[in-house]
Amino acid sequence: MSDKIDIKQLPRETIEGMLEDFAKNWIAHDGLWFLKVEADIGMEKAILYDKQAWQDYTQIEAKRLMKRHNIKPGGGLKALEKALWLRMYTFINTQSVYYDEQGRLILEMNNCRVQAARERDGRELFPCKEVGIIEYKYFASTIDKRIKTECLHCPPDPHNDNYYCKWAFYIE
């Protein structure tokens, strides 16, 4: 018989480490799934299925974040800003979120675990722009239907030394 672990009794550092591990495991599973599908049916079809999965996943993620953190629907860019800091990515990637001179909310993915691993392994960056457009569009519009999403930079665009991808969010 094993002893049940009561997560509420674990030290904060352990729980924070577990959150990081969960995020790493999540992204590893996503990457492994993609590689298997790509090997079986090719990059184009794999990206098609990836886009469909991300469209559904980001809406689920946004709704759960809204519920857990009391983010009201229709809360505008401030609500999206809060939600962006609460995504699973923040445990494993480095990002910047700020407002530009036009009042748009800007997200820069300064260090992306997936892309950094590909570079480290001598592989080309993953061409995630098509998937990212779906991901961020549906995440943002779940927070507030008025929010528009614009990709400013994302692979296969040439690598930028300051970020892997850059997104703008605004309300017309």
Region 108-137 average pLDDT = 93
Tokens representing residue 39 in the block: 């090997």
Arithmetic mean of pLDDT over the chain: 94
Tell me what the mean pLDDT of segment 78-103 comes to. 96
Confidence of residue 160 (pLDDT cuts 50, 70, 90): confident
pLDDT for position 123: 86
Rounded Cα–Cα distance for residues 126 and 26 (Å): 17
pLDDT at 1: 64
Write the CATH number of the domain with boundaries 11-171. Answer: 3.30.1380.20
* pLDDT (tens digit per residue) in 146-156: 999 999 999 99
* CA 157 – CA 144 distance, rounded (Å): 28
Domain segments of the chain: what residues? 11-171
